[in-house]
Each structure stands twice: as C-alpha cells, then as structure tokens.
Structure 1
Amino acid sequence: SEDEKASLEKAARTVAIGGLKLAGEPDGIDPTAAIDAARAIGDVEDVVSPAPVPVVASAKLRNDGCRRGVALVTYARASDARRAVAELHRAMPGVGKRKAQKMKGALKAGAGGAVDEGVEMLWARALGGEGARPKSWRVIVRNVSFKAAEAEIRAAMSAAGFVWELTIPKDFHGKPKGFAFAAYTRKADAERAVKEVNATAIAGRQIAVDWAMSKHEYNEAQLKQKEEEGAEEESEEGSDGEDDDGSGSESESESGDDSGSEYESESESSSESESESSESDDEDEEAPEEDADPDAMTRRVMNTFLDSADANDGESDGKVKYASRKEARN
C-alpha cells in the first residue's frame, strides 16, 4: 500500500545515533552536540530523543554494537541520511581535542574492532533499508600482511565505499591473524570491493577479497564440496582418497583444529592464521540477514515506531521529543 511504501521510505531516511549520554547513561557523547552535528549534514524533518525502547529492540540496534542512549534523526532526503551515517559513525562531536586523541589511540590499539567501553564516540546506522543490514554486506579480506596497519586496511577497503565496520581478528597474543572483515552499508559497495579491491595490495602484499559467509552457509558449502569430491573419487580408479582441501568447519576451528580455514587462502601463512579463528570470530557467528522479504525488519520497526505515543506526538515539527519529563529536564 502507499502508506506502507511511505513508511519504508521514511525508515531509510531515519538514522539511529547511539553512544549518547541519554536516559540515565552515566557516560557518552553530549546529545546536543550530536544532534547539532546531525542537523549540519542536511535538512532534518524530525528528531526523537531518546528513541523508544521498543524501537531500539525491534531494529536490533544493540545487536549491531549500539551502546548507551539512542536518538532518531529523520532527514528530508535519503542521500543525506546515508551521508550522515558515514560522517557521524565513530565521530566525536563535543569531545575535546586531547580527549579525542586519547580515544583514537585506544581505538588504534583495538585494531578497529568493537568499540571499547571506555571509548566515547557516536554509533550511527540507518533505521531501515539496506543500510540497516550491514552484516549482509560483509566481505572477508584474506592474505593480509601481519604488518598492515588498521588505517591501511580501512583506506584500501574504502576505495569501494564507506566502511561501516572493520574487524581485524587477533590471536591470544594480541597479534593479527592475517585476515579481516569489512562491512558496508550498501550491497553495491560490497560487490565493488569483491570486484575491484580484490587482487590489490596492502602493505606490499596482494589480498583476496570475497563475500563473508555465515556458519550455516559455510557448513553447507563444505558438505556439498565433500559430496562432489566423494563422487569424483568413486569414479577414478586408483584414487587414494586423500582429502587435501585444507578446509574445516567452524566447530573444528574453535576446538583447536588448525588443519583448515573457512576460506581457501592464497598463501600458506594466511591459511594457517585463518584456520585458527575465522570461524570462531564473534563477528561471523551470526548469519547475515537474507530474509525472503528484506523489508520485513523495517516493517516491524516502523510499526513499533508508529505505535509509540512518544514518537507520534508533534510529528515533523523538527523539535526533540523526550520520553519523560525527567529526560526533558536533563
């Protein structure tokens, strides 16, 4: 229906901004500074602060790493919303220069993974549309030099589009394992990374870029591969039946079997490093959302949003709406 179409379109124009000192959070980015930064990017139709708890839950914001208080900013144009995510995600509005440098140092030490509890920065993601499913647009970067810095990897992957999240798994010694995951906010950007960034070099070493697979997809692919190999062996006389595909399931990797990896590596060292943790990486445990209806989550989110009395009061007046009188006083 037209109403449903308008609701989905509005969700794509709405950006959830987390990391705010809202709703009783003791720490976080000043919400006024964050919203001012959001308004500077484009025409804002509506601001809801803090976001209703049911909306935060139905949009699975916490699942994607959103912490602390959350505000919803609806832009007049979807292009402004996309630009807002790129400019606000991991930004530090209102944070002093010295403190910001300290925070960036903490991030560098964490190699671009999940934001540490002590790091105060914004988290931004679209409320609906393809930008709401960054885990669906993830690629794996293999054969990465152990000497490659996080900034070098991010810069290389950014050639395909905005890198919403870059994860560089490390072993228990704190050393990189030779591969990384890059998540984008658009399918086209991930496809571009696979086509154009693949076979380029980072820190003097050629990398391989491919779509990241979930455990379920990986296990199915390995099962199919083994079935095909078994059929080939039966048809060949004198086959010794050796299995040298160098692959292993995620459960094998997690239990310490270092004989294989989730993806075939183009170098021995990368293969060994991948086998240690590519499947055990927490980021890869949840399968990307590939629903038959990719807008299903957006519909649930917007239905929750519209059902919320807090979100309905004074629509499109451009003012901040508070969830309680106590929040309004703060």
Structure 2
Amino acid sequence: MSADSGPGPGPGPGLDPEPGPGICARRVVIVTGGGRGLGRAHARAYAAEGARVVVNDLGAGLDGSGASGDPAQGVVEEIRAAGGEAIAHYGDIATPDGAASLVTTALETYGRLDTLVNNAGFLRDRMLVNLDEDDWDAVVRVHLKGHFLPLKHAAAHWRTECKAGREPRACVVNTSSGAGLSGSVGQGNYSAAKAAILGLTLVASAELAAYGVRVNAIAPAARTRMTERTFADTMAAPVDGGFDAMAPENVSPLVVWLGSEASAGVTGRVFEAEAGRITVMEGWRPGPSADKGARWGAAEAGEAALKLLSRAEPPQPVYGAR
C-alpha cells in the first residue's frame, strides 16, 4: 500500500467480492479532492451505488495552503459506516509521485481501477492586473496538472491491461466549470485552467478510445468552499426546507452514471449540471463563414468579419461582467 494511503480494510489484489446493489457494483473508483464539497458528494454517491472508492484529498485550505488527512479520512469513515468500502489517499496529485501512488493505491488495495474522477482544485481570485504569477501557477497547477497526471498514470495502466488482452471498460470524468465555458471576471487563472481541461478531455477521449477508455467532463454549479463566498446569495441553502438547488449532491448522479458501464458509448462530451438540470454543451462549432478565394486586405477582412458577426449567435455572457 502506498505511504500516502490511509489505513483501513479492503480486499487484496485480485479479490473480487460479490457485487452489491447499484450501477457501479464491482467497480473501483478514484475521486480526487474527495474530502469536501463536490468530491465528498461524488465519493459517497459512488459508494452508495456499490463502488469501492479511493478518496484522495490533500486537505489543503481554500487557497491551496497547508495539508491535513482529516477530510479524506472523514469521508472514508462515512462510507464505511454506511456499509461501503473506501480507503483514503493523502498525496498531492499534481506531482508525478502523488499521482502514481494514487493509482497504485487503488490497484494494491482493490486489485483494479475502473473510474477516475478528477475533481481537486482551489481558488486564488484576482483581477488580471493584480494577479501574481505565483497565484496563476498555483491554480493552473492544481486544476490542469492535477487532471493531467492522474489521467496519465491511470491511462498507462489501462493501456497495459488492454495490451495484455484484458480490455478495460474504464471511465474518466473531468471537472471543468462555467468559468471555463464562458469566463468569469476576477478568475482569469481559474477560467483558463478550466477551459484547458475541456481541451484535454477531447484529446484524451480520442487517444484512449482504442484502450476501452471513455473520457467526459462536467461543468457543475453547486455550493462548495469555492462558490459559497464568491456567489453567496445564489449558493445559499433554502431556509424553508424546500429543494436545495445548490447542494453538491445534485451533481453526483450524473457523475456516477458517467463513471459506470451504463454510459457505454458516451465519450468526448461536456455536460453542465446544476440543481435538477442537465445540459449537453455543444462547444465550438463553425458559424457563418466567407471565403474570398484569395488573400483579404485588412479593411476588406474587417468588413467581411462584421457581416459574419451580424449573422452569428452572440457569445455567452462572462460571469460577473457588467
């Protein structure tokens, strides 16, 4: 077992217990950033559907500082108390060693890996003119590199399995954001990283299809440490006991389905998930076009561009724009 993994019982390598109920029975699922917010909701939802869950969380603060094993281990204990199986991993998945040990923990504890949910992240919000390079690097590192490295190590395992004649039925669920789809004022670093995750998702879905791996992304809206301050009014829980539209648990059913065999054939897709609504995002597609058949002059190109813009759909508004 990895030195980064928490204590706890679990079947040894190769052991496959009798399946429990649920669409993820027998599956082994990694959830990064699984100690709080959306990650905690996803981990608990997977366990409720029969999965064995590796709960990764560095236990850092909202700005990425510090570390604690309490969040990950707390979710593991919640899952076990409900009769599920889980183990904690406390490593930094934005480092090669941390990402490698995360995959190793799943394989050494449960003998397999079926689903990777990339969810870990934090915020360091600033307007662009006040955004320090360190704050840019830190946010891009945890969100983008923290997606790439676990994906890389999981994909290497699945490729080996495929070449050995054991084609996986594996899934990856990446986490983008409305900020990555439309931009968000004061979140240039976060928006850029979340937009890049969408590009990574598309490339990974194409490259890994040959190995039996499907890769999709979600853009969730829910109440978490990262949103309850920035969007305090819209994220507040209802006081009358009605439907809690911003509860992170509302997003998890889609994430669980995407990480199960029930979503076979679905790959390279992006979904928005908020409250009771699921939306398939259609991304960049060619709009109005003009072809002169020769090089444009600058003024001529501008005139053509203005005509095309008059026929084009307007862009989605940037969050926070006035």
Query: Fold conserved (TM > 0.5)?
Result: no
Structure scoring higher RCO (CA < 8 A, sep ≥ 6) equals 1
Larger-gyration structure (1/2): 1
TM interval, shorter chain, is under 0.3
